[in-house]
Chain A
Amino acid sequence: MTTEIEPAGALGADLTARVPEDLRARLATAAEAAGVLDVAYRWVDSPLGPLLVAATTEGVVRVAFDREGHEAVLAELAARVSPRVLRAPRRLDPVTRQLDEYFAGDRRSFEVPVDLRLARGFRRTVLEHLRTIPYGSVESYAAVASASGSPAAVRAAGTACATNPVPVLVPCHRVVRSDGSLGRYLGGVEVKAALLALEGRRESG
């Protein structure tokens, strides 16, 4: 081990310094232009706390609540979609604007492409159906199972809702128990109640 001398020390200084934001933005722009930005993500502030929103070139592939854990969500995207995951806000501009409008009560439906590749088979069928439940309406898990073609698969319909990769955009919060109680929600039952309240409903917890 050589003793540290001034020039080497100065060269190695500030290794914890961060790369300037404008340079990172430049990388994101170049990656998009080169077609190698497989997953772009950003944080979106919301009344429900920060949401991590991620999109492939096909559409929004993931909306995650803070409690799901930033690193875990990005690791899941790297493993299941592509490791080419980069914080790159621009691809998320339209969905960010629409989420802002939704939370302000100025938007009742989302007009951005959604990429449901993280859900397969029956779960995906359920999610496709959820997208048809109108703003401010609710359906029971049993009704969702029937509408998805498997009336007996009530539990599986519940699992599909609980594992929805794009909550809020695919409105699993509009599915409640047959007795009118809320049921579970990935973002927490209080978040489910808040979303339904936003849409003008007062369901019992």
Chain B
Amino acid sequence: MVMARPFEALVDEHGAVVLRVVRALLGPADAEDAWAETFLAALEAYPRLRPGGNVRGWLVTIAHHIAVDHLRAAARRAEPSGDVPERAATGPGSGADAVADRDPQLWAALAVLPFKQRAAVAYHHVAGLPYAEVGPLIGSSEVAARRAAADGIARLRSTYREGAAS
């Protein structure tokens, strides 16, 4: 029988990855709110999680729904439409975030990607999820998820290099 691990062990093991995922999705300014909401929702649901399951995929799925909620709320504030906006709700924040401070161009470049590309890049390249899991999360097939991530990386490569070279 697989015993449930103490939740603290999940925070230790996956906390940093989930923080980078929500930074990639929302930008550094909203990332900490989304991280705290993700782990609170996970803690609430944790006793019902099947032991031995894919914990990182589960956490990223929760983070995805919370990030989508954040983006929808931001869109409602900006304009009366329920769709997920193509752009991140917030650009890279100033200060606060050590990684953004070190590499602000990367976060700026991510923020202008279409949401599906940004999410595909985050779930595959940051969280390490296989495209077979990324696809259902972003409402696409495995093939389309792979293409979205490749397109996102290609676009990041061009904008990021331009920014870094300036």
Residues of A within 8 A of B (CB): 2, 5-8, 10-12, 14-19, 23-24, 26-27, 30-31, 34, 36-37, 39, 41, 74-75, 77-79, 82-87
Contact between chains at B36 and A23 (CB < 8 Å)? yes
Smallest Cβ distance from A86 to chain B, in angstroms? Answer: 5
Judge whether B16 and A7 touch: CB under 8 Å: no
Cα distance A188–B125 when bound, in Å?
A: 49
Q: Tell yes or no: B79 within 8 A of A by CB.
A: no
Number of chain B residues close to chain A: CB under 8 A? 39
Q: Which of B23-66 contact A (CB under 8 A)?
A: 24, 32, 35-36, 39-40, 43-44, 46-47
CB nearest to B45 among chain A residues: A36
Interface string of B1-29 (1 = CB under 8 A from A): 00111111101000111011000100000
B46: A residues at CB distance < 8 A: 83-84
Q: B151: shortest Cβ distance to chain A, in Å?
A: 12
| Cβ 8 A contact of B126, one of A11, A79, A86 | A11
Check B15 against A11 for contact (C-beta < 8 Å): no
Q: Which residues of B contact A (CB under 8 A)?
A: 3-9, 11, 15-17, 19-20, 24, 32, 35-36, 39-40, 43-44, 46-47, 99, 103, 106, 109-110, 121-122, 125-126, 128, 150, 153, 156-157, 160-161
Among A15, A74, A79, which residue has its beta carbon within 8 angstroms of that of B20?
Answer: A15
Given contacts A17-B16, A18-B15, A23-B36, contact A7 B160 (CB under 8 A): yes
Inter-chain CA distance A78–B153, complex, in Å, is 41
Residue from the list A11, A34, A78, A87 in contact with B106, Cβ < 8 A: A11
Q: How far is the CA of A15 from the CA of B126 in the complex (A)?
A: 8
Knowing A7-B153, A11-B20 are in contact, say whether A74-B40 is a contact too (CB < 8 A). no
Chain A residues near B109: list those with CB within 8 A.
Answer: 7
B157 to chain A, nearest CB (A): 6
- Residue from the list A6, A77, A83, A84 in contact with B160, Cβ < 8 A: A6
